[in-house]
Structure 1
């Protein structure tokens, strides 16, 4: 009688009932585990500060509401330079020391906020911290991409689970601390944020430098053999054929004039792909601004429901992000998942539009459905985005390309609030159009990201005549 099996990793089968050591379940081995701890610790600090930043600047720094808006807006706009800057540097210098340096810059910037109440100095310090925050996000993603190799989609899902858990822990600590009612609490929370960056730098110091980008190949589709055949991999899980091809190419290039790496700023196809990503990241603004404002001002739902919807979002991500990682396990599955993503966006917009009709119980049900649909969209898009942004980037310029891709989230943070408030102002039809627009963008991205038919994907060329 055959024994039941369950698949745990590409090419590995383990009998049901057998416990799998934690180190074997997490891609990247010890380095992968350490970076998960970094993500958790980093987000604990972000939870401490993110929940109290406006309060600190109001009660501890003594800024007016207009000054706080100027401070956060300008520093956020300057922070957009962080992803491309960090990505470009990552292709030229070792990644681990660069990531440690950025974490230390973030720590110094956080502590420096405690030293002044002058708006101009605060603006300079917050801008430096904003650049560091955005650069750190891209560098952490790049490290994970290289250390996790072909299992990067599953590793990204585990990372998002750890990050969401860290946010929850930091937020809970901040909520408990604020019951003290003293302005000194805000300073201690900011110190806690700085300490989280120092701790992240120390943990990263114990990690090894990840493999170079040319060894990180994640094609799970066989070049030969029958369906489901596995490609030969070395002891670290890298594609042996791709590794050897890279080695041969390097040998041929020795003695020849250096060829400059691809430039993402001249790659119109990848830039267009990044622009579509900026739109699909709008689910972030839905949860931070759109859903709370809509529930409180346009529906009969009790205001107490709003924080519960955010808790629902957090719990769903923690529970389901890892299982949903299989929808981005390869570039092809990621591209195919754009259709379910379109459905989730359309359902979320429709549910928000329906939340204004009928009794309180109907409003509550529609808002819960909308929060669930947008959370599913968030998880699916995170998986798709992680895989496609890496798969479409040339190995020799992976850092620069991922840095450009990081602009999508940075830009969304600036224009997202305008988009969701416009949907709110337009009423139920606004949310219907919002959901339909995101669904249409999923279709546009699927058309843009083409299947070449040789086991790989590419970005469709974009010319001036196509605009």
Structure 2
């Protein structure tokens, strides 16, 4: 009786329906694999394969730029041919390309294989967005929050496993991480077979093929989303450099901030995200995120002017506030990104949104390391105001999006 009760609680935590549990489990497995690979990929190509770091960076940059172009047509294909089918094909390609990395011995081979992988990743990402909408059912916000919780947990566990392999430092350990990631893509594809075959939703007659490019509120949100995405490398890139070069905080603070950030997001995502369902909710959550970043960034800057233990405490407090902002921001982007898109074109819209986010992430390192670090404390304050200004636009954008969405009666008539 107790065992059945415990199993029931775990099942409800993982999802409210069988399709939800399947997609959460599949995503979790894949993110464990991603965590294994991401933490060790650069070291493998430089230390084991022997490629110069500059060549590795160039290969990955070329692959990333080319991959950006595949998300939108891939998402459109998912809308017209079925999100599950397209995503499974993309996952199979990623499994093969990832496994092929263990054979890389030259820059050319790395560039070609990484490009194929990034194209498949962009197509799969857009199809994943469309599939999430279909699986989410009547409580999409709650499902997306749970999904992100388990995705974050998977990355954390994968990173821990990568740390153990990195400690060994052998070629076999690195190869195991790469093949483990390849296996996670293959298992992901197999698990998707357990999902039902969702029928393709017909587009209304006379509608433009590339609808997302004419949707001004959505394009405006895509720009805001890409810009607000700078908050992610604040934790992974900017703050570690700031701690090591400008503060007296002990170096273990860098590891601690990653742990606090990941753990807090895992614990709070469902609690906060499940309540953010409508466009109106998303707009307010976006504003809340900006205000929290307005508080966290100056706290990070002030750590440079405090004694050693005070600096460590200030940084950890700042990352706690920043993580809360991250949860609000991701929940807002779920509500707005999916809520502004029509159901029959979710893949196309998620492809556009992914392009905007990826472009922001590509520009982030240059912006954060030159502007913010270059200006020092003033740069942190400027970044804080920038995030707050972006967040302040959330409610107005939500109202604009609501006014320009087809009313239920009109939509029914169009599809009738």
TM over 0.5: yes
Q: Matches of 2:230 and 2:201 in 1, distance apart? A: 30
What is the deviation of 1:330? 2.0
For the 8 Å contact 2:129–2:347, the answer to whether it is kept is no
Partner SS for 2:304: coil
1:299 and 2:247 correspond: yes
What is the deviation of 1:444? 2.3
1:411 and 2:359 correspond: yes
Residue in structure 1 matching 2:69, options 81, 85, 100: 81
For the 8 Å contact 1:262–1:394, the answer to whether it is kept is no
- 2:60 maps to 72
Q: Which moved more, 1:121-130 or 1:265-274?
A: 265-274
Cα–Cα, structure 1 residues 211 and 153, in superposed 2: closer, same or farther, change >3 Å? Answer: farther
Report 1:2-401 matches (<5 A).
22-23=10-11, 29-210=17-198, 212=200, 259-261=207-209, 263-401=211-349
What is the deviation of 1:259? 4.2
Structure 1, residues 375-406: CA drift from partner, whole Å, max 9, x if none? 11111111110111111112332221111011
Q: Which moved more, 1:385-394 or 1:328-337?
A: 328-337
1:430 and 2:379 correspond: yes
Structure 1, residues 432-455: CA drift from partner, whole Å, max 9, x if none? 110110110111233233167xxx
Q: Matches of 1:286 and 1:61 in 2, distance apart? A: 30
Residue in structure 2 matching 1:447, options 393, 396, 399: 396
Q: Matches of 1:351 and 1:363 in 2, distance apart? A: 10
Q: Matches of 1:416 and 1:399 in 2, distance apart? A: 25
Partner SS for 1:363: helix
Q: Matches of 1:185 and 1:311 in 2, distance apart? A: 24
Structure 1, residues 164-199: CA drift from partner, whole Å, max 9, x if none? 111111111111122322122111211111011011
Cα–Cα, structure 1 residues 450 and 313, in superposed 2: closer, same or farther, change >3 Å? Answer: same
Q: Matches of 1:271 and 1:193 in 2, distance apart? A: 34
For the 8 Å contact 1:349–1:432, the answer to whether it is kept is yes
Q: Matches of 2:248 and 2:83 in 1, distance apart? A: 51
Q: Matches of 2:14 and 2:182 in 1, distance apart? A: 28
Cα–Cα, structure 1 residues 331 and 267, in superposed 2: closer, same or farther, change >3 Å? Answer: closer
For the 8 Å contact 1:86–1:138, the answer to whether it is kept is yes
Partner SS for 2:137: helix
Q: Matches of 2:321 and 2:287 in 1, distance apart? A: 14
For the 8 Å contact 1:146–1:213, the answer to whether it is kept is no
Based on CA coordinates, which of the two structures has the bigger radius of gyration? 1
Q: Matches of 2:364 and 2:23 in 1, distance apart? A: 29
Give structure 1 stretches of 5+ with no counterpart.
1-16, 215-249, 460-467
Partner SS for 1:293: helix
RMSD: 2.2
Q: TM (normalized to structure 2)?
A: 0.90
What is the deviation of 1:89? 1.0
What is the deviation of 1:258? 5.5
Give structure 2 stretches of 5+ with no counterpart.
406-416
Q: Matches of 1:123 and 1:262 in 2, distance apart? A: 30
What is the deviation of 1:457? 5.2
Partner SS for 1:31: helix
What is the deviation of 1:325? 1.2
Cα–Cα, structure 1 residues 330 and 192, in superposed 2: closer, same or farther, change >3 Å? Answer: same
